[in-house]
Amino acid sequence: MKPGRIINNFLLVLVACLCVYVYLVLFPQVLFKEKVSYRNFNIYSNERIDNKIFEIIDNAIVELRKSELYDSTKKQKIFFIHDSFYNRLTGDYNRELLGYHEFFINNTMIVPKVDVKENTLIGIDGRLHVLAATIVHETIHSFQENRYGFFKVLRTPEWKLEGYAFYIARSSKVMNNGHLSVEYARQCLNDVSKYQTRKGYWLYGFMTGYLLTEKGITLDELMNDSIKYQATLDELIKWYWQNRGMYQLFASI
């Protein structure tokens, strides 16, 4: 065979491999043995998915309905990728995450090993997390794109996207009787020193919760460029110290 032909064949194989790789990254459904379809969710895994998943999805939807972004017609794909070929294919680069959402192709990946029966997953820091809350968090990202579009979401600062997802997924902790929970803020501050909580998502959640509830702005206003990170953080800190002071005052009476 002529050298030119060998190079051509080699390039052909290379391009074919690249195409297969891109296809599998975009449409990894074929890499998973198990699939459960329930309501608007498709869940993929290599291990048998316990029937508890139905209750988990039901509960996740109850939480998702707290968001005005909820859309029951929007299909969701959730992949349990721990120890999967997909994970090796993508270089295992997301090990420290609980989950991540891929915009545009609308795939949600749950990273650590899940225990569906117990509704849990264990983060890389060893802490136990609620699987339903992680599903809610990542699904909110899907709804953000559904409402605002891919390009708007791309331009939106991380603290707003993550903050809103955190705020909805943990609303029962972030909020207390319709107000931000000072106790939960205190607990998160303690966790920061203990676990070095990743990227301060909890703080973004409080900033978002502060704007939407204490300040009463709308979600569309939150997405507006005029709402800035530093100004919001300054206001939240002021709010926290005022309320913390009040809490201590009441406690001392």
What is the contact surface with Zn ion in residues (CB under 5 A)?
Answer: 162, 165
Q: How far is the CB of 175 from Zn ion (least distance, A)?
A: 19
* Helix or strand holding residue 45 (H, E): strand 41-45
Separation between Cα atoms, residue 219 and residue 221, nearest integer Å: 5
Separation between Cα atoms, residue 190 and residue 162, nearest integer Å: 20
Cβ-based nearer residue to Zn ion, 46 or 94: 94
Phi and psi at 65, nearest 5°, equal -65, -15
Cβ-based nearer residue to Zn ion, 60 or 165: 165
Strand-pair partners of 80: 110
Q: How far is the CB of 191 from Zn ion (least distance, A)?
A: 17
Q: How far is the CB of 192 from Zn ion (least distance, A)?
A: 18
Cβ-based nearer residue to Zn ion, 22 or 141: 141
Q: How far is the CB of 4 from Zn ion (least distance, A)?
A: 50
Q: How far is the CB of 165 from Zn ion (least distance, A)?
A: 5
Cβ-based nearer residue to Zn ion, 165 or 185: 165
Phi and psi at 99, nearest 5°, equal -165, 165
Do 149 and 138 form a contact (C-beta atoms < 8 A)?
no
Residue ranges of alpha helices (H) inside the chain are 3-26, 52-64, 85-89, 131-148, 150-155, 158-169, 171-174, 182-195, 201-209, 219-222, 229-252
Cβ-based nearer residue to Zn ion, 165 or 223: 165
